[in-house]
Amino acid sequence: MKFRNGRWLMKKGAKSFSPKVVYETDVSGGAVLLFAPSFGVGHRGDTLGGVCFTVEISAPLCDTLRVKIYHHKGSAGAGVCFPLNIPGCTLDAEDSPELLTVRSDTLELRINKADCSMSFYRCGKLLTSSSGDDMSYIVEDWQGDAYPGGASYMCQRLALGVDELIYGLGERFTPIVRNGQSVTVKNEDGGTSTDQSYKNVPFFLSSRGYGVFVNHPESVDFEIATETVNRTAFSVAGEELDYFIFCGGTMKDVLCRYTDLTGKPSLPPRWSFGLWLSTSFTTDYDEKTVMSFIDGMHERGIPLSVFHFDCCWMKPFHWTDFLWDSDVFPDPEGMIRRIHERGVKVCVWINPYVAQRSALFDYGLAHGYFLKRADGSLWQWDMWQPGMAIVDFTNPEAARWYAKGLESLLDMGVDCFKTDFGERIPTDAVYYSGADPQKMHNYYSYIYNECVYNVLARHGGADGAVLFARSATAGCQKFPVHWGGDCWSDYSGMEQSIRGGLSLTCSGFSFWSHDIGGFESSATPDLYKRWCAFGLLSTHSRLHGSTAYKVPWLYGEEAVAVLRFFTELKHELMPYLWSEAHRSSSSGVPMMRMMALEFEDDCNCRYLDKQYMLGDSLLVAPVFNSEGIARYYLPHGKWTNFFTGEVVEGGVWRTEGIGYMSIPLFARENSVIPVGISHPNAEYSFKSNIELRVFGLTGRAETEVYDGADVIIKASFDKSQDRFTVTGGAGCRIKIGSADTELTAEHESGTLPK
């Protein structure tokens, strides 16, 4: 939020207060406390009133400091906070008359007592700072100490260095560098072509190797090099501000720290990485249609992992009631069994809203399971569904009731859920828990998806749980997968989708998808084929639309061949993708990541938002035009075209024509990419079915290959020693350039093939 009128003035009626001096400190406990008035104290009479700041600094994790700033400490909102992992860390504090120094491992905060300025350092290098009026308490319509007037806000500004760039803040469809953007972190159902987004995360990542998480579930406003062009600013309504600052040697290290705090991305089941096909939204379909789609994919040799039933598996006006429309699906159990017999999982659409016509409505109303208005009446409106009520997940009984409906579907054979919506949540509702409705607006997406994910986890067991979620906030990376929302079926919509996805993944999320072919309107055959290539080289891949079916034969026989080719390619890459997924789940570094996250020292990568790394070793550059022209950048080093074997020296921009049966897909030098020799689906066994492809070996390359939860192969290749070592790789093949070899023992080492 912007509070100023240029550099020197405030907006009309607004009054700003900032700490002028550190008057008192306390370093005796587990946290450091500061008391900082917004005025100088010359004598005791000066202490009789005025705005003062209480600042609490703690070390919740290694290389992490938490800063809590209060004006009136008793004004915090009720009972709504992100679940955080805070083991605590040794806090090292030094207090001298002039300077207070606080350390958490390599992160150091120096506070000048004379003016309350703050500077954050990592290993002696300045990261960012705050001085003057950067920390402030702001009141609109100020009328004096006794009559403060309008709304109040807490604001913190942090200095931006020369060339410093900011990323993150959740899913954003604007350019991936946040500098020059005003961002309101508030979940909205606004499509992919505006500055609104479905997944808002109050966390940003700096190219200087630090990150900031604003620990407020309510709406948070960010001004990134806007109101003051050499500052990032974040503000919240009320009397307190709570934020964490993380540091690391790289931005990936910072993401590891952030996900240490908010939770690591859970690992989805392996089958979820295969191809998903949807009924689409408003299309007409019944069991005959569904089975014709599944059989049509099989007849055309396109492996299918999941079939998704969108909204209309339930009767119109009845959403959500968890009941199949008996007029269209008279035998849902039998249908699900027949789908399973074809080796395909079943997903069904749900949302957290209950229409007045729903069979669940009267029971939920009688038992107080919905959000209410301040006068005690039910909160209802006619947006999305007539007479729509909203499930109150803060009521444990309501959550169990909702979960019971999900369990009935799982007992029937349903394998997973698409958790749609969760963004249109009122800020004037009354919750069972008494929670502040402003704070609940974004946080509702957490408790909604958590409820559904936990039901799936209880049923999935060792196989794992997966949902397809649209809304999210901080911590929702624990409930994968997320998809990018309602995009248009054109190249602009495809571009918006990739930007939103890369922004989300650099905000702590690892597993992401989008509607292949676009959602709104219908794709051209050209767009459909290009989007298939992009979609099958994302972590998760779903064909879905609004008014149009997305089966490939409707887009021509070449579209069938393209979809089959890239589905088979993804299955071939499953040993690599599954192993990368394991590493991502344990580290918090996303599988699908923006180029700047991987190549921080390459200035050409800093603004790229139309190409990405898929894991550590593969670069993907989708085609975004009907002319078939790809323009992309290869960072420094040797890159090998995955399809042709062409080796290209990096540090160059390339422009080339790309046929539909290809996409710029390059392997990084010194990388080992395990692929499947036989790959009928996404769940095949990797044991004795692996080829290790070694690309651009100039030094040392190594990998670990997972099958299920276990590492089955460890391999290293050393050019300087002209040797390789493979453990657990009996029967696997090795390919280095054009040379092949085959392992015959469990533990083998040998000379690199020439």
Please state whether beta strands 275-278 and 541-543 pair in parallel, antiparallel, or not at all (unpaired). Answer: parallel
3-state secondary structure of 430: strand
What value does the mean pLDDT of the chain take? Answer: 95
What does the block give as tokens for 399? Answer: 């959550």
Q: Which of 213, 221, 157, 214 is nearest to 183 (CA)?
A: 221
User: Distance between CA atoms of 291 and 412, rounded to whole angstroms?
Assistant: 18
422 burial (CB, 10 Å; 0-12 / 13-18 / 19+) is: buried
CATH number belonging to domain 270-572: 3.20.20.80
Contact predicate 579/273, CB 8 Å: no
Largest CA distance in the chain: 88
Spell out the residues 6+ positions from residue 179 whose beta carbon is closer than 8 angstroms to its own: 160, 165, 166, 224, 225
Look at residue 404 in the predicted model and tell me its pLDDT: 98
**Domains 4-40+51-72+89-262 and 270-572 fall in the same CATH topology:** no
Residue 203, SS3 per DSSP: strand
Extents of the domains making up the chain: 4-40+51-72+89-262, 270-572, 613-751
Pair 340, 413: CB distance under 8 Å: yes
User: CB within 8 A of 95, min separation 6: which ones?
Assistant: 25, 27, 101
Contact 61, 248 (CB under 8 A): no
Instruction: Provide the pLDDT for residue 194.
Output: 96
Task: State the catalytic residues.
Answer: 420, 423, 486
Of the candidates 502, 495, 501, the one whose C-alpha atom is nearest the C-alpha of residue 483 is 501
DSSP state for residue 381 in the 8-state scheme: B
- pLDDT at position 60 is 95
Looking at the chain, the whole-number percentage of residues with pLDDT higher than 70 is 98
Cis upstream peptide for 481 (omega within 30°): yes
Residue-level pLDDT at 736: 87
Residue 320 per-residue DSSP state: S
Which SS3 state, helix, strand or coil, does residue 221 take?
strand
Residue 552's identity, in one-letter code, is: P
Query: In terms of residues, how long is the chain?
Result: 754
Mean pLDDT of 669-692: 95
Count CA atoms within 13 Å of residue 684 on its CB side.
Answer: 21
- CA 283 remoteness from chain centre: 30
pLDDT at 751: 82
Higher local confidence (pLDDT), 147 or 380: 380
Judge contact between 718 and 694, C-beta under 8 A. no
For 563-613, the pLDDT digits (tens) are 999 999 999 999 999 999 999 999 999 999 999 999 999 999 999 999 999
Confidence of residue 471 (pLDDT cuts 50, 70, 90): very high
* Token pair of 618 as six digits: 């593969």
Residue 146 has pLDDT above 70, yes or no: no
Given this model, what pLDDT does residue 44 score? 86
Consecutive H or E run containing 525: helix 525-536
Digit-coded pLDDT (tens) for 240-295: 999 999 999 999 999 999 999 999 999 999 999 999 999 999 999 999 999 999 99
Res 485 pLDDT > 60: yes
Q: What is the secondary structure of 454-489 as a DSSP string? A: HHHHHHHGGG---EEES-B-TTGGGS--EE----BS
Pick the CATH number of 613-751 from 1.20.120.1200, 3.40.50.300, 3.40.50.150, 2.60.40.1180: 2.60.40.1180
pLDDT tens per residue across span 323-378: 999 999 999 999 999 999 999 999 999 999 999 999 999 999 999 999 999 999 99
Sign of the dihedral defined by the CA atoms of residues 16, 19, 21, 23, in that order: positive
Instruction: Quote the pLDDT of residue 754.
Output: 63
The pLDDT assigned to 504 comes to 98
Per DSSP, which regions of 591-651 are E strands?
592-594, 612-614, 618-620, 629-634, 638-641, 647-649
Q: 320: cis peptide before it, omega within 30°?
A: yes
Grade residue 76 by pLDDT with cuts at 50, 70 and 90: low
Residue that the structure tokens 């100088």 belong to: 40
pLDDT at 149: 74
Cα→Cα distances 632→34, 522, 527, 606, 612, Å: 51, 27, 19, 13, 10
Phi, psi of 365 (to 5 degrees): -65, -45
Kindly report the CATH number that applies to the domain delimited by 4-40+51-72+89-262.
2.60.40.1760
How far are the Cα atoms of 205, 211, 260, 544, 573 from residue 255, in angstroms, in the given order? 8, 8, 8, 31, 26
Phi, psi of 646 (to 5 degrees): -60, 135
Q: pTM score, two decimals?
A: 0.97
Phi, psi of 727 (to 5 degrees): -110, 130
- For residue 278, the cross-strand partners are 308
More confident residue, 43 or 429: 429
Are 473 and 201 in contact, with CB atoms under 8 Å apart?
Answer: yes
Per-residue pLDDT band for 749 (boundaries 50, 70, 90) equals: confident
Residue 193: pLDDT band with limits 50, 70, 90: very high
* pLDDT tops 90 at residue 731: no
Please check whether residue 483 is in contact with residue 542, taking contact to mean a CB–CB distance below 8 angstroms.
yes
The predicted structure's pLDDT at residue 244: 98
Residue 406 phi, psi dihedral angles, 5° rounding: -65, -40
pLDDT at 465 over 80: yes
